[in-house]
A and B are shown apart, each in its own frame.
Chain A
Amino acid sequence: MQFFGGSEISPAPSAPTGSGNNAHMMYIFNRNGVCLLYREWNRPLRTLNAQQDHKLMFGLLFSLKSFTAKMDPTSVEKGNLGVPQLPGQGCSFHSFRTNTYKLSFMESPSGIKIILVTHPKTGDLQEPLKYVYNLYVEYVVKNPLYVPGTPIRCDLFNTALDQYARSLA
């Protein structure tokens, strides 16, 4: 009886072939929950419509962050459960993994949350997420035509992001 690893019902997905389709999708939210960017490169299954999907994702991350900060065994001072924490205060969760995907998360001090969903065997993605944040600063924040707080529609950012996502191992 195979309990761990793949079974007939839910086989483990094949390892990334290195042909550049490791990244499944990416979300970028701002501090207020506005979904600034949603990009998908490889998503065979969609269960909700776009609005619900984004709300669910943001709500999940908000709760997970609160929960991880509250359950932190090393820090002395903790706020009440559910009180939003300042970015950078307390601990922040990095990723979770299921048998079919891995979700990595990074929050900047300005409240920009970057989420990347990849193949489960992907390594730690904090550095790539920081790189994506740099791309965001360069091509979105410094774009004179972009209005902060609105969805991102900058071609330069999209192409740079696609190129980088394809190169992720």
Chain B
Amino acid sequence: MGKREVVESCMDNLMIEMVSAYCNQFYATKPELAARRIEAIGYHVGHQLSERYTMEHPRFSDHLEAIKFICKDFWSELFKKQIDNLKTNHRGTFVLQDNRFRWLTRMSISPTNTDLSQDSSITTIENKALQATSMYLYFPCGIIRGALSNLGIACAVSADMSNHPACSFVVRVKA
């Protein structure tokens, strides 16, 4: 029990520091590059994780089966729970919704966290807060993209956090 807590705490803190290092130190003036680097790291991690978790699995018959694998087995290995809701338009777009995304449960998006010395209209503060939080979503997006690409499905993944703490990942398969 204690070991799990240590591991999870290490992982949480590593995530926080990774985003902070890339956004504030390495690419402080270029947030898009920081986002791309973080997503690339996630890509590699997802690639290798899916290799490990599909060891005894038979080949997937179609895209939907692969996405269902991501929603159930893969997500439970990573976050100890499954994706809560999966929607698709049957034309290559899938929406995976997690109602309580583990890495973001402790984030309070209170507007007072951000710097109030500049103009303090509510929308700009909220925008800054949203921008800060969206940085933390690139890593899981990369994980999903890497896992799917290892299964042979090229795609683009984006995330949406408008109803915190629920978080949805939109997967668009490239035809």
The yes or no answer to B112 lying at the interface (CB within 8 A) is: yes
Number of A-B contacts (CB under 8 A): 41
Alpha-carbon distance between A146 and B129 when the two chains are bound, in angstroms: 12
Q: Is the CB of B15 within 8 A of A144?
A: yes
A18-36 residues at the B interface, CB under 8 angstroms: none
Contact A155:B108 (CB < 8 A) given known A145-B113, A145-B132, A145-B133: yes
Q: Is the CB of A144 within 8 A of B107?
A: yes
Interchain CB contact (< 8 A) of B12 among A142, A146, A155, A156? A142
Alpha-carbon distance between A143 and B107 when the two chains are bound, in angstroms: 5
Q: 0/1 per residue, A146-169, Cβ < 8 Å to B? A: 100000011111000000000000
Residue of B9, B108, B129, B132 with most partner-chain A CB within 10 A: B108
Interface range for B: 10 to 19
Interchain CB contact (< 8 A) of A145 among B12, B15, B107? B107
Contact A139:B113 (CB < 8 A) given known A144-B19, A144-B136, A145-B133: no
The yes or no answer to A138 lying at the interface (CB within 8 A) is: yes
Alpha-carbon distance between A146 and B112 when the two chains are bound, in angstroms: 11
The yes or no answer to B33 lying at the interface (CB within 8 A) is: no
Chain A interface residues toward B at CB < 8 A: 138-139, 142-146, 153-157
Given contact pairs A138-B106, A145-B132, A157-B108, enumerate 4 new A-B contacts (beta carbons under 8 Å): A142-B12, A154-B108, A155-B110, A156-B106
